[in-house]
Copies of this chain bind each other. A is one copy, B any other.
């Protein structure tokens, strides 16, 4: 029987799901940065140690709560490890692989739509910059990583929007190779090209 009382109690088979539900609620309300493991435990009515038992870090909990099956930190590791040369094309290849696969695209679409609600913007700002773009920029060791990754993000976001959300016919008609050939030079320039003052 599902336990509904909010007092502290030991873990049950439902505990993990309840922690995830509490996390989704708090992340959506307050964003990633302002939500603590402790506040999620309180919301779920469990001891904080139980949250740490199920999830190694707040980032792990975040991605699990979003039900995104691809952990961007894992997917992006090869992009970072091979260094800045050609990173634009490698980054695009990850995007095309993740968004081209229906099992990862569906939850991501929900995430993107939610992000565009007034309340969701905080969450995405935090998640996108704190957990995806920031680490990539720093991992690549490029100068002005935040500014460069913002430029990169703006182009990647536009591709995602037109190809997978709005499904603009000319964008859908382009092959992956045409996407790569069209956009990799742009992304690479944002990563390692000249920056205006």
Write the residues of chain A forming the contact surface with B, with a CB cutoff of 8 angstroms. Answer: 112-113, 115-117, 121, 124-125, 128-129, 146-147, 150-151, 153-159, 161-163, 165-171, 174, 177-178, 181-183, 185-186, 189-190, 195-197
Contact = CB atoms under 8 A, between A and B. Distances in A.
A72 B66 CA distance: 37
Copies of this polypeptide in the complex: 2
A154 B162 contact: yes
Nearest to A154: B158
A116 B124 CA distance: 15
Contact of A153 (B116, B147, B162, B174): B162
B165 A129 contact: no
B154 A161 contact: yes
A165 B114 CA distance: 12
A182 B196 contact: yes
